[in-house]
Amino acid sequence: MFQAGTALAEINYDGIVGPSHNYAGLSLGNIASASHKGDPSYPRAAALQGVAKMRGNLARLGVQGFFVPLPRPNLALTDALALDGSEAPQLRAAPWSASSMWTANAATVSPAPDTADGKCHLSPANLVTMLHRAQEWPDTKRQLDLAFGNRDHFTVHGAVPPTFGDEGAANHMRLCDGHGSSGVEVFVYGRPGGAFPARQHEQASRLVARAHGLDPARCVFVEQNPAAIEAGAFHNDVVSVANERVLFTHAEAFADQSGAYDAIRAAFPALEVVEVPSAAVTMAEAIRTYLFNAQLLTLPDGSMALIVPEECRESASVWSYCEGLMASNGPIREVIPVDVRQSMANGGGPACLRLRVVCDPATVDPRFLLDASKADLIEKIISETWPEQIDPSDISGSQANPALAAQVTAARAALLTALSLEELG
Ligand code: SUG
């Protein structure tokens, strides 16, 4: 239970990219996923890119967590789908998806200073809108139950019941004076009826806020701009990110942009908005480069750094905006590109790959915390066991590929053994 004065820190839990990482084009409304459908994927390179990102943030922040990949191929889902070779290839690919790497969709997290009982509450996201993602939450919950098993400090809930779609932290932001102080939680939902699915339902957001025991006066519910969803912003974290008192957002992120700022400011007067105008970066370019799918970090000296995908540096308009940001007197003083191209090609940037948990690091299971030697170990297992390449026909062809299934299963098992996490096997 939270007591004032306890040392709370933000821990970023990155999803280790799983050995079955592939491009099957499963996510309607996710432009990168659709446009890379059918490409060969490189699971080993993808996972090493992810570890390199974690190493960078470990050096910057002094703390970094991770979650392990979920069991794939998921034989229970294969059975449930009655796959017999006559079905659409996309159905065959779903049990192979490595989508749990995007841990921003693993859960919604309300840190202890925000909740009525002074514990940190986590609700795994049901991800019901997409078949390949809906299989994640029971295994995600098993992992959360272990990582945050200290019941004096954490409560792990069940998922929101269907039909209310919940996508977790990707549609949730927290504003606060410092990570350890009480925050205002902002839930961003989409209204159904557009060309693409609105994955986060308002009722799911409201349910999570109630379950977590949040003070209604410190919760804000905001509608995402339907035009942003239509343009490919399938999660709010593709168009805005918050850290402490700062909201970094595209000017067209919300259905009622100034109404959203007013509502947040009414609950959190210290709000500082860094709004990127459409004239500087179009919505299409923001979505292509994932400028907002960035990690906005508070560095030990109190300044903020934005960890963006390399694609931002390659875009004239986005990089010129970033250079202006760094030269300004604003709160974001550094913009640091990272290479997560394998994940980006499926619509997952630096922010998708991490779940933020504000807590006392002494209260979490240390097996899920990274240090330099564990990063070496994880890299060694990935280099030795992860497939170098997967062609979509390996997983969605009418003939199953038992050798690949065996390799993927063995690779995950080797990682669990190395990390003493066999109980997740
Ligand atoms: O749910 N891509 C993920 C990307 C998730 C990004 N997360 C955040 N924005 N927080 C998704 O659409 C692609 C899978 C495929 O096509 O095989 C995929 O699931």
Across 92-105, average pLDDT: 97
129 lines ligand 1 (CB under 6 A): no
* Alpha-carbon separation of residue 398 from 40, 89, 374 (angstroms): 17, 7, 39
Quick check: 7 and 360 in contact, CB under 8 A?
Answer: yes
> Cis link prior to 337 (omega < 30° from 0)?
no
Q: Write out pLDDT tens, residues 360-403.
A: 999 999 999 999 999 999 999 999 999 999 999 999 987 778 99
Quick check: 341 and 312 in contact, CB under 8 A?
Answer: no
Ligand 1 mean position to 287 CA, how many Å?
13
Hey, whose CA ends up nearest to atom 10 of ligand 1?
A: 352
Ligand 1 mean position to 7 CA, how many Å?
34
> Cis link prior to 249 (omega < 30° from 0)?
no
Which ligand 1 atom is the nearest neighbour of the CA of 293? 9
Give just the sign of the alpha carbon dihedral 70, 358, 272, 299. Answer: negative
Q: CA-CA distance, 256 to 188, in Å (whole number)?
A: 12
* Alpha-carbon separation of residue 8 from 116, 178, 297, 365, 417 (angstroms): 17, 10, 15, 15, 30
104 lines ligand 1 (CB under 6 A): yes
Ligand 1 mean position to 355 CA, how many Å?
14
Q: CA-CA distance, 141 to 368, in Å (whole number)?
A: 14
Residue 5 above 60 pLDDT? Answer: no
24 lines ligand 1 (CB under 6 A): yes
Tokens of 112: 């202890």
Residue 1 above 70 pLDDT? Answer: no
Quick check: 341 and 310 in contact, CB under 8 A?
Answer: yes
* Residue 74 region by backbone torsions, left for phi larger than 0, else alpha for psi between -120 and 50, else beta: beta
27 lines ligand 1 (CB under 6 A): yes
Q: Report the pLDDT value the prediction gives residue 78, as an integer from 0 to 100.
A: 93
Ligand 1 mean position to 258 CA, how many Å?
29
Q: What band does 17 get if pLDDT is binned at 50, 70 and 90?
A: very high
97 lines ligand 1 (CB under 6 A): yes
pTM, rounded to two decimals: 0.98
Positions marked catalytic: 167, 235, 352
Quick check: 248 and 321 in contact, CB under 8 A?
Answer: no
105 lines ligand 1 (CB under 6 A): yes
Which of the listed residues 92, 105, 340 should we mutate to test ligand 1's pocket, taking the one with most ligand atoms within 8 A of CB? Answer: 105
Other Cβ atoms within 10 Å of 29 Cβ, number: 22
Q: CA-CA distance, 139 to 71, in Å (whole number)?
A: 8
Q: Report the pLDDT value the prediction gives residue 213, as an integer from 0 to 100.
A: 98
Quick check: 296 and 243 in contact, CB under 8 A?
Answer: yes
- The residues with which 356 forms a beta bridge, in sequence order, are 12
32 lines ligand 1 (CB under 6 A): no
Q: Report the pLDDT value the prediction gives residue 7, as an integer from 0 to 100.
A: 87
Which of the listed residues 102, 167, 172, 353 should we mutate to test ligand 1's pocket, taking the one with most ligand atoms within 8 A of CB? Answer: 102
| Alpha helices for 40-193 (secondary structure H) | 43-61, 75-80, 89-93, 131-134, 137-147
Which ligand 1 atom is the nearest neighbour of the CA of 24? 17
Ligand 1 mean position to 346 CA, how many Å?
6
- The residues with which 120 forms a beta bridge, in sequence order, are 154
* Alpha-carbon separation of residue 16 from 43, 67, 175, 281, 406 (angstroms): 11, 6, 27, 31, 19
346 lines ligand 1 (CB under 6 A): yes
Q: Report the pLDDT value the prediction gives residue 132, as an integer from 0 to 100.
A: 98
CA angle 214, 218, 219 (to 5 degrees): 75
Ligand 1 mean position to 43 CA, how many Å?
15
Burial of 236 (0-12, 13-18, 19+ CB in 10 A): buried
352 lines ligand 1 (CB under 6 A): yes
Percent pLDDT > 70 in the chain is: 99
- The rounded mean pLDDT for the chain is 96
Tokens of 143: 């992992």
33 lines ligand 1 (CB under 6 A): yes
Tokens of 64: 């970094």
Hey, whose CA ends up nearest to atom 11 of ligand 1?
A: 27
CA angle 122, 127, 131 (to 5 degrees): 150
Quick check: 296 and 244 in contact, CB under 8 A?
Answer: no
Q: Report the pLDDT value the prediction gives residue 6, as an integer from 0 to 100.
A: 67
Phi, psi of 206 (to 5 degrees): -65, -35
Percent pLDDT > 90 in the chain is: 95
Over its C-alpha atoms, the chain yields an Rg (Å, rounded) of 20
Residue 55 above 80 pLDDT? Answer: yes
Across 159-181, average pLDDT: 97
Q: CA-CA distance, 173 to 183, in Å (whole number)?
A: 10
Hey, whose CA ends up nearest to atom 12 of ligand 1?
A: 27
